[in-house]
């Protein structure tokens, strides 16, 4: 490993309309779509007003979902699949959609405190503007699998937790700590001031993610699908890391790049 981290910083002490909007990234956050996401919402004890189930859906995991809803006293409403598509803003709802309480975001400090409560070095994922809901959901799902303590999203220029995000995350949203902040660059500085080393995924970087010691407090920064990480954010990161590639395509989907980097942190932490 090339980074001995002798100079590691010391931490500072001291119910919405269901009409489909033009921008699917800004769908309401109180609708959970998909069978597994809805079942995980029930398991997590999230308040659910009602669950829509498409007409004719009475087999497989829907039977289990209906039983769970009955045990929890949640009303079931039958409707046509087109109705669910209008509600969710996506046709990939698997015939199930739930009206829930809005997602409760946390603060970046809550993520660090959660890691310390677990006796672990903080592991954070920072998204500098991911607008595609499927990519965001996939990142959240991988973050859960890799033991990430929390994710940080910008309040502007990023997808919110839409039904498509819940579906892609396959239930991981119910267990994720997610903060939304006004300024990602300032949040990077906050993480650094609290002893977290911040690494940005950058295809032009000279250092490989496989050559760096990532076992200490770490934050992985991922950029927008099109424009990547903004200059202000990139300039504030401790290191820029690339993922080695040997093919003719010079970039990876953000959710794939995030998965590679998150799993490298997990691998090093054993």
Query: Can you read off the two tokens belonging to residue 108?
Result: 């970046």
For the cut 70, the answer to whether the pLDDT of residue 24 exceeds it is no
- Do 27-100 and 108-269 share a fold? no
The C-alpha atoms of residue 147 and residue 39 are separated, in whole angstroms, by 21
For the cut 50, the answer to whether the pLDDT of residue 12 exceeds it is no
Q: Averaged over 61-87, what is the pLDDT?
A: 93
Task: Tell which residue, 174, 116, 182, 127, has the closest CA to residue 149.
Answer: 116
Say what angle helices 133-145 and 254-269 make with each other, to 10 degrees: 10
Helix (H) or strand (E) holding 108: helix 108-117
Count the Cβ atoms, other than its own, within 10 Å of residue 78: 11
Strands (E), 93-192: 96-100, 123-128, 150-154, 178-181
Q: Averaged over 14-43, what is the pLDDT?
A: 67
For the cut 90, the answer to whether the pLDDT of residue 148 exceeds it is yes
Task: Give the model confidence (pLDDT) of 152-198 as tens digits.
Answer: 999 988 888 888 899 899 899 999 999 999 999 999 999 999 999 99
- Side-chain half-sphere CA neighbours of 65 within 13 A: 27
Higher pLDDT among residues 44 and 112, named by residue: 112
Look at the domain 108-269 and name its fold. Alpha/beta knot (3.40.1280)
Task: Tell which residue, 166, 155, 102, has the closest CA to residue 127.
Answer: 155
Task: Tell which residue, 13, 44, 257, has the closest CA to residue 138.
Answer: 257
Q: Which CATH class is domain 27-100?
A: alpha beta
Cα first-last separation, the chain: 15
pLDDT of residue 5: 53
Rg of the chain over CA atoms, in angstroms?
20
Higher pLDDT among residues 28 and 185, named by residue: 185
CA distances from 89 to 85, 135, 236 (A): 6, 16, 37
For residue 15, the Cα-to-chain-centroid distance in whole angstroms is: 23
Q: Tell me what percent of the residues of the chain surpass a pLDDT of 90.
A: 66
Task: Give the model confidence (pLDDT) of 210-257 as tens digits.
Answer: 999 999 999 999 998 777 899 999 999 999 999 998 888 777 889 999
The C-alpha atoms of residue 223 and residue 124 are separated, in whole angstroms, by 14
Average per-residue pLDDT for the chain? 88
Domain spans of the chain?
A: 27-100, 108-269
For the cut 50, the answer to whether the pLDDT of residue 25 exceeds it is no
Using a 10 angstrom Cβ sphere, with 0-12 exposed, 13-18 middle and 19 or more buried, the burial of residue 77 is exposed
pLDDT of residue 76: 95
């Amino acid at each position: 490993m090339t980074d001995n981290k002798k100079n590691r910083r010391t931490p500072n002490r001291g119910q919405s309309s269901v009409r489909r909007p033009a921008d699917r990234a800004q769908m309401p956050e109180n609708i959970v779509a998909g069978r597994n996401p809805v079942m995980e919402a029930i398991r997590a004890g999230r308040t659910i007003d009602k669950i829509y189930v498409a007409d004719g859906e009475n087999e497989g995991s829907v039977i289990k979902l209906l039983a769970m809803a009955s045990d929890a006293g949640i009303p079931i409403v039958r409707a046509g699949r087109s109705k669910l598509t209008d509600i969710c803003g996506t046709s990939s709802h698997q015939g199930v959609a739930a009206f829930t309480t809005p997602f409760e975001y946390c603060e970046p400090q809550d993520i660090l405190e959660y890691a310390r409560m677990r006796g672990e070095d903080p592991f954070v994922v920072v998204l500098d503007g991911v607008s595609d809901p499927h990519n965001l959901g996939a990142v959240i799902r991988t973050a859960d699998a890799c033991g990430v303590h929390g994710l940080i999203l910008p309040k502007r220029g990023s997808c919110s937790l839409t039904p498509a995000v819940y579906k892609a995350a396959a239930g991981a949203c119910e267990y994720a700590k997610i903060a939304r902040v006004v300024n990602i660059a300032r949040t990077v500085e906050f993480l650094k001031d609290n002893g977290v080393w911040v690494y940005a995924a950058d295809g032009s970087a000279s250092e490989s993610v496989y050559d760096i010691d990532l076992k200490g407090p770490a934050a992985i920064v991922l950029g927008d699908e099109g424009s990547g990480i903004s200059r202000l954010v990139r300039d504030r990161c401790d290191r820029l890391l690339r993922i080695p590639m040997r093919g003719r395509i010079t970039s990876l989907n953000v959710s794939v790049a995030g998965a590679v980097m998150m799993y490298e942190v997990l691998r090093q932490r054993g």
